[in-house]
Amino acid sequence: MAGTHQTTVRQRVGDVYDRWLLLRWLSKLVPIGVMLGLWEFASGRLVPAAILPPFSATAEQIVVLGSSPEFHGHATDTLFRGFAGILIATVLAVPMGLAMARNDRVRRTLEPIVSLTYPVPKSPLIPLVIFWLGIGNASRITLAVIGSFLPILLSAYNGADAVERELLWSARSMGVSRLEEVYEVVFPAAVPTVMTGIRIGLIFSFVIIVSSEMILAQTGLGVLVTDFGQFGQYSKVFAVIFWIAILVAGIDRIYLLVSSRLLAWSDRGVSGI
């Protein structure tokens, strides 16, 4: 009697828990829906529609824009620049960060440079880099590298620097060479931190690319924003912003999902502000 009672309680708890997981997932969408609803309601009632076009008008433009090949071209350009930048920055910054953590000489050379440049805003370089490298891909990719390089470098340095000594000692005692040690011990131990650094780098590189496209460019999503803005087509501006939000937030979400899968072996996850 008591046993059956227990199982039913457990089943019920389990049932509610399962549903709750799904509910929790769905409940995350509710606030977004509420905000969109407020937007729709406010437009034309609380504020003039000229200042805030209703969400329904924007939704129309979102569909129109999403199916236009011209928009696809701009979006591909921006995404290509962002990914190329982050790739180059990662390839350059991770080895440098590891070297900084493992070698005193490298550390003494690079530390002052990093601590002098890290807090400096990189956005003033946008006009200069465009002037030097032109209004095409070269300047944007360079800017993306500039924007994401230091967070990735520091994450690799921090991760490698925090490797437990016991790990290194035991590797050493097993006859591992210094280079093997970096490859086999230091790098894997630094990976969770590096993944966080890359996430921050990704965010920064898209900020700087879109900014630079809004300042001076021929293609890219930033150009669309300023062009529609200049012609006063505000529901189109909102539609572009929506797509940029979906793309960048989507990339961020996918990155978080993939990296938490990849880091399943580690007790640390990807985080980062």
Residues 24-43 interacting with other proteins (rule: CB under 8 A): 27-29, 31-32, 34-35
Say which residues have a Cβ less than 8 Å from residue 189's Cβ, sequence separation at least 6: 159, 160, 162, 163, 164, 167
Cβ at position 62, least distance to other proteins in Å: 14
Q: Which of 145, 163, 225, 239 binds other proteins (CB under 8 A)?
A: 225
Distance CA 107, CA 160 (A): 12
**Residue from 55, 157, 160, 186 that binds other proteins (CB under 8 A)?**
157
With CB under 8 A as the contact rule, which of the stretches 7-15, 86-94, 135-143, 240-248 interacts with other proteins?
240-248
Question: How many Å from the N-terminal Cα to the C-terminal Cα in the chain?
Answer: 53
The tokens describing 253, both together, are 């979400």
Kindly tell me which of 150 and 185 has the beta carbon lying closer to other proteins.
150
Q: Of the two residues 175 and 232, which places its CB atom closer to other proteins in the complex?
A: 232
**Using CA atoms in the order 156, 158, 162, 163, what is the torsion angle rounded to 10 degrees?**
10
User: How does DSSP assign 17-42, residue by residue?
Assistant: HHHHHHHHHHHTHHHHHHHHHHHHHH
Token pair 């011209």 in the structure block, residue: 70
Q: Which of 20, 131, 169, 183 binds other proteins (CB under 8 A)?
A: 131
197 contacts other proteins (rule: CB under 8 A): yes
Q: Does 187 bind other proteins (CB under 8 A)?
A: no
CB of 117 to other proteins, least distance (A): 8
Q: Which is nearer to other proteins, 182 or 210 (CB)?
A: 210
Beta carbon of residue 97, minimum distance to other proteins (angstroms, whole number): 10
Distance CA 222, CA 163 (A): 41
Among 99, 237, 239, 259, binds other proteins (CB under 8 A): 237
Residues in 42-101 that interact with other proteins by CB under 8 A: 51
Closest CA to 204 of 153, 159, 160, 138: 153
The stretch among 10-18, 170-178, 231-239, 257-265 that binds other proteins (CB under 8 A) is: 231-239
Closer to other proteins by Cβ: residue 13 or 162: 162
How many Å apart are CA 209 and CA 191, to the nearest integer? Answer: 26
- Contact 86/255 with Cβ under 8 angstroms? no
